[in-house]
């Protein structure tokens, strides 16, 4: 936490924006420094994410990319995933996001496809709630990984590689 608390405003902004492309979220998390420990930081990040409006979330969604598949994935799987993404984007008007926290690498494709298929049945308002939660979970996961990468001794609460 020492590195995070002592980082320059510019460096901190870049780190936070790499976790969630929401300037409002980034400012809120940064304004509450210093944090005594990782749990306090993650609680503040969650709280800031819960307070985001739909326009804030739309801005963050615009910077998200599709989940990547392992290089040895069959081309049919890529085709199925592309078709599912297209259906999702046509229905909701934005990219599909999902946090793969705790999902074993070999099960990511099935988890993504199942997530898209089940969420396609949501009404738009329901999906906004799910999207907000997925973005919050992604931001939290990415923040833990960013802290670990900065030489902090942050212990992961998820143990998974970054994912969407």
Q: Which two tokens stand for residue 70?
A: 């392992």
Mean pLDDT of the chain: 88
d(CA 83, CA 107): 19
CB 128 within 8 A of CB 61: no
Q: Which two tokens stand for residue 84?
A: 């599912």
CB 18 within 8 A of CB 47: no
d(CA 12, CA 29): 10
* Count of C-beta atoms within a 10 Å radius of residue 41: 23
CA 109 to chain centre: 17
Residue at token pair 């990040």: 45
Confirm whether pTM is higher than 0.75: yes
Tens of pLDDT along the chain (164 residues) come to 899 999 999 999 999 999 999 999 999 999 999 999 999 999 999 999 999 999 999 999 999 987 777 777 778 888 888 899 999 999 999 999 999 999 998 888 899 999 999 999 999 999 999 999 999 999 999 999 999 875 443 332 333 333 44
């Amino acid at each position: 936490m020492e590195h995070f608390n002592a980082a320059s405003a510019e460096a901190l902004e870049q780190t936070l924006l790499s976790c969630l492309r929401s300037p409002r979220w980034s400012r809120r998390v940064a304004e509450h420094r210093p944090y005594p420990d990782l749990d306090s930081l993650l609680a503040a990040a969650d709280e800031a994410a819960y307070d985001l409006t739909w326009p804030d979330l739309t801005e963050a969604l615009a910077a998200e990319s599709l989940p990547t598949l392992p290089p040895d994935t069959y081309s049919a799987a890529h085709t199925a995933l592309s078709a599912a993404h297209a259906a999702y984007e046509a229905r909701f008007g934005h990219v599909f996001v999902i946090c793969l926290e705790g999902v074993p690498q070999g099960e990511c494709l099935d988890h993504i496809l199942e997530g898209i298929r089940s969420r396609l049945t949501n009404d738009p308002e329901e999906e906004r709630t799910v999207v907000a939660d997925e973005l919050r979970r992604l931001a939290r996961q990415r923040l833990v990984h960013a802290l670990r990468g900065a030489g902090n001794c942050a212990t992961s609460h998820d143990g998974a590689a970054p994912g969407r």
